[in-house]
Amino acid sequence: MAEYVVNGAQLECTLGVAPSVLTVLPQHRAQLTGEFQANISDCIGFVNIAPFGACTVTSPPKPCTPACPIWIGGKADLLLDGLPALLDTDTAVCAAGGGMVSITDSGQGDAKQRLIDLYEAEHPDHKDILDEFLKDVIADGNYDEAVKDIKYLMYFAKEPYKTLMFEYLPNIDIASYTDTNQRHSAGLLYITLDPPKGGASDPRGPYVTFFHELGHGIDYQMTQAGVFDQSNSGLHDILSNDTFSGIEDATRNFTSDPAAISAVVDSFRNGGTPITPGSPEEAIRNMVIDEYRNNLDVVNNPTRVNQITDILGGYTNNDLGRNLASGTYGHDDSYWTDTSRTKEFFAHNFSNNVTRNAEKVDLMKTYYPGGRDFLDTSLTEVAKNLGNGGSP
């Protein structure tokens, strides 16, 4: 997981012979863990970036004169002096020798653990709940980083998701943390924290599947408690409307004929009327599929959009789901019912928000605006009724 970069961060260059250090001047006036925080402009040679010893682009090597115009990347939604904050996953290219400069240590030290320690000192009840939930993982001793990551994400999760987790977590147990067939069953989680499928190595995003299955667990507990049952909440109709409104909008890009639009949209519905092979409507339908495939970029980035293709597939016989391209994620057709569609949407939305996966959150807003707003509003009301605030 990417970290913000502060004064004292450690650097290396592919053409340098020695490590370097980043100096961040106090001009941004932002501090993190007691050090000044960097933005993407903090890359001036001899001011921000010390030399990397000698530069091996020439033979014999000459003294390094770092000349990086700007860091590539940054956190676009956190600006310092109008520019994105620097992340430890960002890089820079030296104009002098062409070396690639990367950040090997953010300079924060173990800032995450310090924040966890502070939080647990102030919220011992949450510490007890989470320690009990993770007791087997903690006792194993081989998953200390995963424990730290999970605690950090849960302690600093957005509302109303944080309130819901600590309310219902005592009723959920981790049955396995090495099971690659990840699932939830009646309050039991079967997950893996091991590469390549689980934990920080999860191809769908760090801990995305872990919190997806936990989302199923929270959903189940709320239903059992009678405080919210998404399967009887009207969510299915809202998701269906989002799905087919989007398909109708896409179809209108290729025809203005009301009859053709109606036929194409209906052909995507589960149980809808198939399009006649070779008809103009079939050509339009294929163009709609291509538009979804291209807009979602499922060929190149199937894991980035796996949640959207999963729900789209559930409403369209997988024509806009796993059938879009090889490797595209989605459940089999036999899995889908009105209840399973809303359950999966709940778990996807829950995971996105707890892991703070901004890209996936934005995709949900784009393709399922009604469903996302309805669910967030409903869960906020549940959290408020539990007496813990709940404002996102």
Q: Where are the domains of the chain?
A: 10-105, 111-227, 231-385
Chain segment 269-292, per-residue pLDDT in tens: 988 999 999 999 999 999 999 999
**Torsion angles phi and psi, residue 77, rounded to 5:** -95, 10
Q: Could you give the CA distance from residue 84 to residue 78 in angstroms, rounded to a whole number? A: 6
Tokens of 245: 């409104």
- Contact assessment for residue 167 and residue 125, using Cβ atoms and an 8 Å cutoff: no
123 HSE (CA, 13 A, CB side): 17
At 2, is the pLDDT very low, low, confident or very high (cuts 50, 70, 90)? Answer: confident
- Contact assessment for residue 264 and residue 288, using Cβ atoms and an 8 Å cutoff: yes
Q: Give the pTM.
A: 0.75
Instruction: Give the DSSP letter string of 56-107.
Output: TTSSS-EE--------B--EEEEEETTEEEPBTT-EEE-TTT-PEEEEEE-S
pLDDT at 391 over 60: no
- How many beta carbons lie within 10 A of that of residue 69, not counting itself? 12
Give the distance from CA 362 to its chain's centroid.
10
- Contact assessment for residue 345 and residue 239, using Cβ atoms and an 8 Å cutoff: yes
Q: Could you give the CA distance from residue 352 to residue 360 in angstroms, rounded to a whole number? A: 6
pLDDT at 346 over 80: yes
Question: Which pLDDT belongs to residue 392?
Answer: 39
Tokens of 172: 């959920």
Does residue 60 have a cis bond before it (omega within 30 degrees)?
yes
pLDDT at 34 over 80: no
pLDDT at 234 over 70: yes
Chain segment 148-189, per-residue pLDDT in tens: 999 999 999 999 999 999 999 999 999 999 999 999 999 999
First-to-last C-alpha distance (Å) of the chain: 23
Chain segment 293-327, per-residue pLDDT in tens: 999 998 888 888 889 999 999 999 999 998 888 77
Region class of 154: left (phi > 0), else alpha (psi between -120 and 50), else beta = alpha
Chain segment 353-380, per-residue pLDDT in tens: 999 888 888 999 999 999 999 999 999 9
- Contact assessment for residue 30 and residue 37, using Cβ atoms and an 8 Å cutoff: yes
